[in-house]
Every structure is written in C-alpha cells, then in structure tokens.
Structure 1
Amino acid sequence: MSNQWLIAIGINQYQHFQPLNYAQADAQGLWNLLVSRGSFLPDRCLLLTDTSPFIEGLSTYPSGENLKQWLDHLCQQTIKQDDLVWLFFSGYGVKWEGQDYLMPIDGNPADVSATGISIREIYEKLKNSKAGTVLLLLDMNHHQEYQDGATVVGNQTVELAREMEIPTVLSSQPGQFSYEVGELQHGLFAAALLEGLRSGAGSTLASLKRYLSERIPELSQNHSRPLQEPTIVVNPPGKSHQVILPEQPAFVGSSNGDWNSTTTQSIGSGVAVTSGVATSSQEENPFQTALRNQQETASTTSSVNNGQSRPVNAAEDDDENDGGLWQKILLWGGGLLLLLLLLLTTFGRNLLFPAGEQAESPVGGQAERSAGKPTGKGTASSLTALNKAKVLLRSNQSNSYVAAIKQASQIQPGDAEYREAQAAIERWSRNILDIAQGRANVGNYRGAIVAASVVPQDPQPVFADAERLIRQWTPLAKKQQANQALLSTAKGLIRPGSASSYNQAIRIAQKIPPGDPGYTQAQVLINQWSQTIFNLARQRASQGNFALAVQAANLVPANTPAYKQARVAIVLWQKQVK
C-alpha cells in the first residue's frame, strides 16, 4: 500500500518581515485535520512552525537550512514508490530577478537568492522523488516593496506547475494579495481549505478546485476583504480526477505500531505518541530513519539468521523487503477477492429472493444475530450495508450524508464492521454539521438550521453540538428573515429614473444595524443605490438641468463612496445655476 505524507509549514514571527498572525495556525490546523480523520498517519505528517516540537532530537524550526534538509531527506530517502505527498506552505513569498521564492523564518529580502528557497528547487526535488501523486498548497503572502516590478509573485510558480505537471493550488491570483481574518483565526485560503476538507469536498483535485474557487471569493466578500481568488493548476487536465484525500481506512496502522490516536499510548504495541508526533520504542520514526540512513552504510547493518549474526548487504536487504512486499500483496489480494465473492453472493441473493424470504431464512451469522447473539464475524449483509453507505456519498450535500448514515446504521453490534460503521457515522454526522456551519458562515442561518436538524441523535456529542448551534442560530435566523423583509420593502420602493425613490430605499436599508444578519448585504445595496443617485444627477447635468442635478446629488447619503464626488459636483453645478 502507498503511504500518505504531509509537510506543513507555517511561519508567523519572521526575522526580516512584518509578522503574520495565523500562518502557524494554518499549518497546525491542516496537520490536525488530516491526522484526526485517519487518512494520514501522524508519523508521516511533518509540522514545521515557529513553535513545533523537536522530532527525535531533530529541530523543526522553519529556518532555510532546516527546510532544505527536511525536503532532501523526505524526497531522496523516505518517500517511496507511488506515495501521496502534500506540501503546504503559509508564509511570505518573494519574486527576485524573475524567480519565485518561499521565504523561511530567517529569509532576508535584502538577500533573497541566498536566504530564500527557490520554487524551482522545490518542484525539482518533488519531481525527482518516487512520489506517485504530489499536491502543493501555497499561501504566499507578499508585499509590493519586495518585488522587482518585472512580474509578480506566482507567475513563475504557475509556469513550473504546468511544466513539471505537479498539481498546485495558490491562495490567490498572481497580482492579488492573500488576507488573514481575525474572526476566522486563519488566512482566507486556509479557512476555506479546512472547511472544504471537513465537508468532504477535497477527495479529488476537481472537487477541491470547485470548492475553493467558489468559497474563497465568498469569504473575502463576507469579511470585507478585497477580492481573493485561488489559482489552481492541474496539468494534464486528466489529473483532475486523481484521489488526493483517501477515504479513512477501516483500520489505522503503520510500521511503527497500532495508531489509534495521536493523544494516547499503546503499551502493548510499543508505541508512544509525544508532542504530536508518533514514534515507536521498537522501530524508528521514518524522519529519524532518513537521517540515520544518511550517516550509516549498508555494510554496518546486521541481521539474525537462525540465531546467528551475519553481515547483510544492500541487495540482501532489498530481497527481504521484496519478500515482505509480496506477502502483503498476496494478503491484500486475497482479502479483496474474498470481499468480491461476498458482494457477489449478497447481490445475487437479493436478485433471487425477495426481502421477505430473506428475513424468514437468515443465513449463517445473520441467524445468530437475529437471536441476539453477536457473531464477531463480518457478514455479507454488514459489508454490503457499509459499502452501500459509502456509495451514497455522491455529493457534498447533507441529504447524501443522511442517506449514508441510515444505511450504515443497519449494521448491528457484534458485526466485524460495526466499529468501522460507527466511526463512519460519527464522521459523516460531523460533515453534516460542517455543512451547516458553512451555511451559517455566509449568513444563511435558515439553511444552517435545516442542515443541523438532520444530524442523528447518535453519536450524542455531535447531536449535542448540533442542538447548541441550532439554539444559537435560531434568533439570528429570525433577525435575518426580518431584515430580508426590510430589504424587500426597500427594493419595492425603487422607481427607475427617480432619485428620491432610491433615497427612500436607502433610508429603509439603513435600519439594519451593524452585526445583524443582512447588514453587509444592506451596505452593498446602499452603496449601489447611492452611486445610481449620483449617476442620475450627472445625467441631468449633462442635459443642462443643473438645478435638478444639484437636487439629486443632495440625496446621496454621507458615508458612501459616491458622497465625496457628489459634494464636489454640487459646488460646480451651483455655479452653473447662478
């Protein structure tokens, strides 16, 4: 089986740049999410931030030297054939002499080429690794004073992504800026990315692209930031359907023991989890192994054969690994064949016998379960129910998760698949709640309540969260409904060509107080209608009706973008009237 690797870099306290607020939280948030959902094992997720802990005595401080050293170790020695690799960076990006650079914590804008990390160098390292799938997620903050003017940060990155055929997501379009938002405690890019991954929108490049392209501009508007749009490069286009976020496995395991949690210890398997990085008392962490292998030679390694020590050369060691690999292939192949036979048997049975006959004539373990006796064995029925549930997840909609949960709930205690089904139900329930939260974040409180209302009562903690959020959103939904009615009334007052009708609409919209649902929408309409009033005034002035122009311009309310222009124009037009 291939491995999944994450390299998450987030830098706040730069030595030569203005500090960032949430870059470290961006990287930590992605690390937490991917590890908690079980798709990425903690001992294959590297976190490099201002305060990230040492790994087996090795520094994770994101200096230029450390970042290059870690990339070399991973790309040259640790990443294996067909592995999946995510590289996430949140920090400063700089363009110097036509080249894009990621800036480490000690990067100096006065000496970019010596202290920065060339984007080309990163692409070449990843391209030359054995990885089967690579995804770059780059949230590059930048300031105009750190650019030489020929091009902007991101243009070369886009070209390299196409040339190297490495899927790449940039937080903004070249020439745009990436923004942080205090209310989100993240950058806009990371907030949208985490939200999308939680809701299941990032299983493929296509689904991730679709989600981020819609969500990031939406967030920038909701939080009153200039437009920010992601740049997503997938070349060739056929890679859009690559799976970049595998489904959570039925069991979680690694070469380092039994990984059930990043916060617990498993004494029986010799696993200890410390500082957010899992290690084993029996085997080394892959990151430590990479360093050790660089310092040792194959001739110094020994193994035991029939109780006697003997030298082992590199070829012999590869043979042993190959043998273990073939054993794994045979084991997994046999398991898949058995699963296929069970599915064929079940589907064939469903075709040959009506549901009523199946209920009257239970087979094997099903008969024992109907008598209240747990079998402890996975049956065709339970396997089919769980697979059917997963098939139902065709879209990132709450009703899709509800259908999947209903299907998985048919698996009874005692089935081998019961624990996996319960874990899936909890995960899907959280996904429904994330969808509800996403709707609330954009001000759709009624839609958020509808989504949260379908969260099942079990598991109880998720249901309790849903109930709490519904209580929180209900008064907001009522305010939203009332404010929408105000805006509808305001819109109904407008008569095209009548400046006074726009002014009346503005007065109605101004009744929505700051902080209320619909306030942002009201402000957008007020600004639009104010500009329309001023445009009508200019139209009258162009026709020589300066008195009417002054009269209309006086209707432009204060604290709108058109107000200052209107006041200047009024002075000029009044002179024409005299």
Structure 2
Amino acid sequence: MSNQWLITIGINQYQHFQPLNYAQADAQGLWNLVVSRGSFLPDRCLLLTDTSPFIEGQSTYPSGTNLKQWLDHLCQQAIKEDDLVWFFFSGYGVKWEGQDYLMPIDGNPADVNATGISVKEIYEKLKGSKAGTVLVLLDMNHQQEYQDGSTVVGNQTVELAREMEIPTVLSCQPGQFSYEVGELQHGLFSAALLEGLRSGAGLTLANLKRYLSERVPESSQNHSRPLQEPVFVVNPPGKSHQVILPEQPVFVGSSNGEWSPVTAQLVGSGASVTSAVATSSAENPFQAALRNQQEAGATPTASTNNGQPKPVNVAGEDDDEDNGSLWQQILLWGGGLLLLLLLILTTFGRNFLFPAGEQAEGPGDSITGTVTSPDRLTALDKAKVGLRNNQANSYVEAIKQVSQIKSGDPLYREAQTAMERWSRNILDIAQGRANTGNYRGAIAAASLVPQDPQPVFTDAERLIRQWTPLAKKQQANQAVLSTAKGLIRPNSASSYIQAINMARKIPQGDPGYAQAQALINQWSQSILNLAKQRANQGNFVLAIQAANLVPADTPAYKEAQQAIAQWQNR
C-alpha cells in the first residue's frame, strides 16, 4: 500500500539575492492543485515558503537548516516502501566549484558551500529513502549563470539525475534562463506545469514531457521572452511510463442522475477520505499520515514500484512464465479475427445487421442514443482548448463559450459539469493568490466567478468579504515597510535600527508580517556586516558600538555577541 508525498519549496524574499516575484506562488499553486484534485492527501504535502505556517511547533521557513531537517525527517522516517515522492523547488540555483546548489532563503552567494544545499545532497537523501518512485521538478532562476567560470548551472544536475536514475525535469536548458511573467503570476515553467496537470497531461512522465516540451517554448514566445526549453532526464527510459500523478477520486452515478465521489478510498492512496478528514489538527501532519496508513489496513494486493496496485500472484510466477507465450498467441489471433470482422461490418454497412425499421429515424440519432451535434462539440472543444494560460480570465472565456449550450442539448450536462469545475478553478487561483498574501489579486480573481453555479458564487462572495479587510491592511502595511526602507542610510547602523523599529509596528498575523520579519532579519545582518567592516579597518570601538545594536531576537544576534567578545580582547 503506497502513499503520495509532496515536498514543495518556493522562495521570494531572499536575504542576499534580488527578490523573486512568483516563486512562492509556484510552490503554493502546485500544493493547491494536487491537494484539491485528490491526488495527494494534505497531511502528506509539505509546503515551505516565505509565509508558510508552523507545523506542530516546527518552522516551515525555508532556511537552509529547516530545509535539511525536513528533508531528513521525511526521507529517513516518514516515506515508506513503494511511496511516490515529488520534490519541487522554485527559487535560485547557483554553481560553485563544479557543484550545483539550490539556495535557501538565507543562502549567500558569497558563501555558497556553507549556505547552499547541494543538489547531490538532495538526490542522495531522496535515493536513500524507501520511495518506489521519485520525481524532481526544478524551476531554477540562475541569473548568476557562471559561478566558477567553467560550466553553467544545471549540467551537474542532469548528470546526477542520469547517474542516480532519479527522473528530473529542469525548467530550462543549461545556459538558458528561467523567466517569471506578471500576466501569469507564475514562472513560465511552473505556469505550464500547473496548466498541464490541470488538463490531465501529467499521468506519466511521457505525457508530461510531450506537453511541456511544446508548451514552455510556445509560452515564452507568446509572452515575448527569450526561448526557454525544459530538460527531461529519465534513466532508464522505461521509467517514462511510470504513473507519477495518481488518478482523482472515482466518481459514480447515483439514481437521481447526479455524480458523487466514492468516499471509501482515493485511487492510488493508502488512506481513506474519511480518515483524512477526521485527522486531528493538533496532530503532527506527518504523524497523522503514518497513523492513517496503519489504520487503513492491508488489502490482498501487491504494489509495483510506481505505487499502483496489482493482483497478488496466487498460483506463482512460474506458471505465468510457462504459459505466457501460448496466451499471447491466442490473444493475438483472436484480436486479428475481431479486427477483420469489424472491418467487414464497416465496409458493408449497418444494413447487414439492422433492418431499416430498426435504424435511427433522424440524422442525429443512433442505435444507442443521441449523437452529439458537431457544432456543439466544436464549442465545447474550443472552450477546453482555450484553457492555455492557467489564468482566471481563460476560464471565464471558456465558461462563456460553454454557457451557449442550453438545456435539452446532448452536451448540456457535460457543459454544466465543466462550468462548475472551471468556476472552482477560478476560485482555486484566487485562493492561491490569497495564500501567498496577494489579497488584491485574490479579490480580482474571485470577482470573475460567474453567478451560476450558485454554490461556487456564494463561496467567492464569502471569500471576497474575508479578503477585503486583509487587502486594506496589506496596503497600509506595505506603506509602513516603504517608509521603513526610506529611513536607511548607507554606513549608518542607527538608521537600520530606525527602520527595524518601524517594521515592528506590523502586528503578528497581519498581511506583510512575514515580509517585515524577513526585512528585520536582513537589516540586522546588515548592522553586523557594518560592524565587521569597521573591525576590519581596525576601529574596534565603533565596531562594538554597531554590533551592540543588533536586536536580540534576530538570527544575527548570537554572531554579534561572539564578535563583540573577540573585539573587546583586541
């Protein structure tokens, strides 16, 4: 019995790099998508971003220490045999002395070896876990293309993925750049990835490769960016057909014609829906996941490496090997005869089997029911094809097209189902923006939800009322941070303290609080750097005065105190 795990990391507000705009949205978007579609259970999905909440007292702030601790915990304790694991990263990647590194939020390009996380280390941890299937997705922004003057970022990652046989997808070719697009509210690669997964193109690596290989270059052209082409590394090639995205919950028809999900079991999941919902919020999510696995109980199936169940071989494998060739020949000849029969029937027409009186009376009817009219099929297909950009507006346009299909049309029921799903997708986009702190963008997306179906529209109105005061607070807090930034003066430690005191006015829980804390930590480090600069110049008195200004509740405080002790002795 296998489980699905997601480790998704997205970092915007780097302490030592130019901030990114949508890396956090990339990670949050993937988390939202796989959880909302039922492929992964929430308590097996770890989200590490600038603003992700604590989990049972454990920080999910994407610092180097936290990332390594979480990865160790999952790979050594939580992930079990035959489990499926996705590792997604959106942020900076750099190269140093021939090694590729992913940079945490506190990663420093001046000290990559100490503050970065080597790709090799990550691959070794994933390889060392008991996972049956691992997929690595890297949306690496590497503005600093040449780190050691030899090769570009990504080459070593490709070699490691091939050598360690870990399927890996890189957002761009080594030597290219990974771009962000304001219209998409995502990176080009991540937007295409989410779009492909929504459309069902991610069942296997082969499916995903076909989609992204066309979509990412096309999107880069559509958005006036230089060519960006993803890289797929799958070794051995047979892994291309492994299932990497389990099916959604099975839906069955009820007596009243409505469709409802089967609540007993998620396809490809080791835990029931009801047990997942009943998990106590006070319980560590990863402990809860393991508890659900134990409580779900075993079934008489064995698991393949890709996490999909297969029947237990009761009679023994040798019997299959002995008789396999004979059965293959029987099936081959039988299939050929069936194909020949169908060809004959097709050639001589329906009259051979069905008298004229039994044939359909109208051009739109068939033996088994009503044939869908070609023009309506075109309208529905056009609506689906138009969902190209993972944008709320694209779903709005699709809904407008499908709304032309009226009651009584053979496609009406399918159209109504699609409209409800697309309305939910718009709301998912809005929720994703809110989760990243973009409340104004969330309100704008939620406002696009149509009035019909009513339940989705009601949810959108409720969320808009919830987000409106937060958007106002966010705007006010952004003004506070802008004022704080304006107080800073070069080579003035006291000006950083003034900025810190201003940023502390943003209360905990308010929009912008996490950003304020990140800036406070960054400015505290700047004070310490200024003190070190003075010490290097031999002015230990001024160095000690500056270091004493480092706030006690910031990461730089401990180092500042150690430096003061050294400087006092000198």
TM-score range, shorter chain: 0.5 to 0.7
Deviation of 1:125 after TM superposition, in Å, equals 0.6
Aligned position for 2:120: 120
Aligned position for 2:32: 32
Quote the Cα distance in structure 2 between the aligned partners of 1:462 and 1:219: 25
Aligned position for 1:184: 184
Aligned position for 2:239: 239
Deviation of 1:148 after TM superposition, in Å, equals 1.6
SS in 2 for 1:437: coil
* Residues 63 and 259 of structure 1, relative CA distance in 2, 3 Å threshold: farther
Gaps of 5+ in 2: 251-262, 304-308, 315-352, 355-367, 369-373, 406-410, 427-447, 449-570
SS in 1 for 2:158: helix
Aligned position for 2:504: none
Deviation of 1:435 after TM superposition, in Å, equals 3.4
* Residues 336 and 55 of structure 1, relative CA distance in 2, 3 Å threshold: farther
* Residues 243 and 255 of structure 1, relative CA distance in 2, 3 Å threshold: closer
Quote the Cα distance in structure 2 between the aligned partners of 1:34 and 1:171: 19
Quote the Cα distance in structure 1 between the aligned partners of 2:29 and 2:179: 17
* Residues 438 and 97 of structure 1, relative CA distance in 2, 3 Å threshold: same
Quote the Cα distance in structure 2 between the aligned partners of 1:189 and 1:223: 12
Quote the Cα distance in structure 1 between the aligned partners of 2:98 and 2:204: 32
Deviation of 1:463 after TM superposition, in Å, equals 2.8
Aligned position for 2:279: 271
Quote the Cα distance in structure 2 between the aligned partners of 1:232 and 1:451: 36
Structure with more relative contact order (C-alpha pairs < 8 Å, separation 6 or more): 2
Quote the Cα distance in structure 1 between the aligned partners of 2:288 and 2:15: 28
Deviation of 1:437 after TM superposition, in Å, equals 1.8
Deviation of 1:168 after TM superposition, in Å, equals 0.2
* Residues 114 and 218 of structure 1, relative CA distance in 2, 3 Å threshold: same
Aligned positions of 1:63-462 closer than 5 A? 63-144=63-144, 147-250=147-250, 251=263, 252=265, 258-259=273-274, 270-272=278-280, 279=281, 284-286=284-286, 324-325=297-298, 435-438=385-388, 456-457=412-413, 460=416, 462=418
Deviation of 1:147 after TM superposition, in Å, equals 1.4
Quote the Cα distance in structure 2 between the aligned partners of 1:70 and 1:432: 44
Deviation per CA, 1:506-532: give whole Å up to 9, x if none.
Answer: xxxxxxxxxxxxxxxxxxxxxxxxxxx
One-letter amino acid of the structure 2 residue matched with residue 97 of structure 1: E
One-letter amino acid of the structure 2 residue matched with residue 463 of structure 1: M
One-letter amino acid of the structure 2 residue matched with residue 215 of structure 1: R
SS in 2 for 1:32: helix
Deviation of 1:432 after TM superposition, in Å, equals 8.4
Quote the Cα distance in structure 2 between the aligned partners of 1:110 and 1:456: 61
Deviation per CA, 1:415-447: give whole Å up to 9, x if none.
Answer: xxxxxxxxxxxxxx9x9855322289899x999
Deviation of 1:216 after TM superposition, in Å, equals 0.2
Q: Give the TM-score of the pair, scaled to structure 2.
A: 0.53
Q: Is contact 2:4–2:85 with CA below 8 Å preserved after alignment?
A: yes
Quote the Cα distance in structure 2 between the aligned partners of 1:90 and 1:38: 23
One-letter amino acid of the structure 2 residue matched with residue 181 of structure 1: V
1:463 is the counterpart of 2:413:
no
Deviation of 1:327 after TM superposition, in Å, equals 7.1
1:56 is the counterpart of 2:56:
yes
Gaps of 5+ in 1: 273-278, 294-319, 338-354, 357-384, 386-398, 404-428, 473-578
Quote the Cα distance in structure 2 between the aligned partners of 1:66 and 1:447: 42
Aligned position for 2:12: 12
* Residues 117 and 42 of structure 1, relative CA distance in 2, 3 Å threshold: same
Aligned position for 1:301: none
* Residues 439 and 189 of structure 1, relative CA distance in 2, 3 Å threshold: closer
Deviation of 1:7 after TM superposition, in Å, equals 0.4
Which protein is bigger by CA-based radius of gyration? 1
Q: Is contact 1:433–1:466 with CA below 8 Å preserved after alignment?
A: no
One-letter amino acid of the structure 2 residue matched with residue 103 of structure 1: M
Deviation of 1:258 after TM superposition, in Å, equals 3.9
Q: Is contact 1:33–1:194 with CA below 8 Å preserved after alignment?
A: yes
Q: Is contact 1:85–1:133 with CA below 8 Å preserved after alignment?
A: yes
Aligned position for 1:549: none
SS in 2 for 1:144: coil
Quote the Cα distance in structure 1 between the aligned partners of 2:390 and 2:67: 38
Deviation per CA, 1:191-238: give whole Å up to 9, x if none.
Answer: 000000000001000000010000000000000000000011011111
**How many percent identity over aligned positions?**
68
Q: Is contact 1:43–1:286 with CA below 8 Å preserved after alignment?
A: yes
Quote the Cα distance in structure 1 between the aligned partners of 2:272 and 2:58: 21
Deviation of 1:456 after TM superposition, in Å, equals 4.0
Q: Is contact 1:96–1:113 with CA below 8 Å preserved after alignment?
A: yes
Q: Is contact 1:2–1:83 with CA below 8 Å preserved after alignment?
A: yes
Deviation per CA, 1:339-385: give whole Å up to 9, x if none.
Answer: xxxxxxxxxxxxxxxx99xxxxxxxxxxxxxxxxxxxxxxxxxxxx9
Q: Is contact 1:41–1:259 with CA below 8 Å preserved after alignment?
A: no
Quote the Cα distance in structure 2 between the aligned partners of 1:200 and 1:452: 23
Aligned position for 1:505: none
* Residues 334 and 182 of structure 1, relative CA distance in 2, 3 Å threshold: closer
Deviation per CA, 1:150-192: give whole Å up to 9, x if none.
Answer: 0000000000000000000000000000000000000000000
Deviation of 1:462 after TM superposition, in Å, equals 4.1
Quote the Cα distance in structure 1 between the aligned partners of 2:208 and 2:310: 31
